[in-house]
């Protein structure tokens, strides 16, 4: 009788083990091998730097290496496309920004994936404003004075950007439309070249990323007139917002988040989210971000997904109004 009970218990345990899907068993020991973080940008940019910082610390907290895989090209479509085709087991994730999802969803007439349905949002990790900068030789010291100067030029005023459809282009277009200005767009291949053109006085203004412009501002070669968020930035606390400069409700920011392929198991998503919250709270991480003019920020997965949808709607409207389009 005792032997029969033991056999019955063993049989029940075996049946229970068979009933548990292999995917669930795999989740329980996640991660059991290295994780690939796709960075759809070239090495050296702010997203690449941030991705590497997160990968290093995430690997330490998870006990498995997180390998950075730079896959730039086609306006981030190459890297993002790889993520959508990956196994949603948590071993392929990506760092994304407003370009990969919010802008490209409208900018491209034939996007090879759905910016919402083909991804699993895990969390935001950082955000930073753009910095409206002009050459020190331009006789303006505020956004209001800049607006008046541009109006006085009768359409003969150029602005630079990092390329058609980029956030720098869209920020400039948002300003142009909100203030009812006439300006000519001069696109460059990146934020750095656009700032160089501004230094050479080839363009009148640039909405720059913080890392590309801060050094020149501190060196006295460029003048910062505003940040593009609704509140001032701790790295440049004396620089007012666009709203303070007379452009109401102006709110554009660079942000970075972590995503994976659609269909990731919720326990895996939650594990990654919990670890990323801890990482972004580290004083050393916040200090490094501050040096880039950024601040750590996280959102639970469901809220992150809602945020992406709202950004697609907001920036999609600006893309359409700007006339930017890639077939």
Residue 182: which domain range?
Answer: 131-227
Name beta bridge partners: 207.
132
Task: Say if residue 115 is in the same domain as residue 260.
Answer: yes
Share of the chain above pLDDT 70, in %: 91
Which of 76-85, 175-184, 218-227, 287-296 is predicted with the least confidence, judged by mean pLDDT? 287-296
Task: Say if residue 60 is in the same domain as residue 118.
Answer: yes
Q: Which residue has the higher pLDDT, 3 or 320?
A: 320
Asked if the model's pLDDT at residue 123 lies above 90, the reply is yes
Task: Say if residue 122 is in the same domain as residue 265.
Answer: yes
Rounded to the nearest 5°, which phi and psi values hold at 72? -75, 170
* pLDDT (0 to 100) of residue 42: 84
Q: Of 192, 227, 262, which residue constitutes the final position of a domain? A: 227
Residue 113's domain is classified under what CATH number?
3.40.190.150
Which of 9-18, 75-84, 112-121, 264-273 is predicted with the least confidence, judged by mean pLDDT? 9-18
Rounded to the nearest 5°, which phi and psi values hold at 268? -70, -45
Which of the four pLDDT bands, split at 50, 70 and 90, describes residue 322?
confident
User: What does the pLDDT average to over 188-210?
Assistant: 93
Task: Say if residue 123 is in the same domain as residue 166.
Answer: no
For 184: left if phi > 0, alpha if psi spans -120 to 50, otherwise beta; the answer is: beta
* pLDDT (0 to 100) of residue 48: 87
Which of the four pLDDT bands, split at 50, 70 and 90, describes residue 66?
very high
**CA of residue 146 relative to chain centroid, distance:** 28
Which of the four pLDDT bands, split at 50, 70 and 90, describes residue 324?
confident
56-60 long-range contacts (CB < 8 A, ≥24 apart) are 57/279, 57/282, 57/285, 58/272, 58/275, 58/276, 58/279, 59/35
User: What does the pLDDT average to over 120-124?
Assistant: 97
Task: Say if residue 41 is in the same domain as residue 112.
Answer: yes
Residue 162's domain is classified under what CATH number?
3.40.190.10
User: What does the pLDDT average to over 222-242?
Assistant: 95
Q: Indicate the number of domains in the chain.
A: 2
């Amino acid at each position: 009788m005792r032997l029969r009970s033991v056999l019955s218990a063993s049989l029940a345990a075996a049946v229970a083990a068979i009933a548990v899907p292999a995917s669930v068993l795999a989740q329980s020991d996640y991660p059991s091998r290295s994780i690939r973080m796709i960075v759809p940008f070239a090495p050296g940019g702010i997203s690449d730097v941030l991705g590497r910082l997160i990968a290093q610390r995430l690997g330490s907290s998870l006990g498995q290496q997180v390998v950075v895989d730079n896959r730039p090209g086609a306006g981030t479509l190459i890297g993002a496309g790889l993520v959508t085709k990956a196994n949603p087991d948590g071993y392929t994730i990506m760092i994304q920004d407003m370009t990969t999802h919010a802008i490209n969803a409208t900018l491209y007439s034939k996007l090879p994936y759905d910016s919402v349905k083909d991804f699993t949002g895990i969390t935001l990790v950082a955000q930073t404003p753009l910095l409206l900068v002009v050459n020190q030789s331009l006789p303006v010291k505020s956004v209001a004075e800049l607006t008046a100067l541009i109006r006085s030029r009768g359409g003969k005023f150029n602005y630079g950007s990092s390329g058609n459809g980029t956030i720098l282009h869209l920020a400039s277009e948002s300003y142009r439309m909100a203030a009812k200005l006439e300006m000519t767009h001069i696109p460059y291949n990146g934020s750095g070249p656009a700032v160089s053109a501004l230094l050479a006085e080839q363009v009148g203004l640039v909405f720059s990323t913080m890392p590309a412009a801060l050094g020149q501002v501190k060196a006295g070669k460029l003048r910062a007139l505003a940040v593009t968020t609704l509140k001032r930035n701790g790295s440049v606390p004396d620089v007012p917002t666009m709203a303070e400069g007379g452009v109401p409700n102006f709110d554009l920011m660079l942000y970075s988040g972590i995503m994976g392929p659609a269909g990731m198991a919720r326990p895996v998503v939650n594990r990654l989210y919990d670890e990323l919250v801890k990482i972004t709270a580290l004083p050393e991480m916040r200090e490094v971000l501050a040096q880039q003019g950024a601040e750590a920020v996280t959102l639970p997965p469901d809220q992150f997904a809602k945020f992406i949808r709202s950004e697609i709607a907001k920036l999609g409207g600006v893309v359409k109004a700007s006339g930017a389009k890639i077939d």
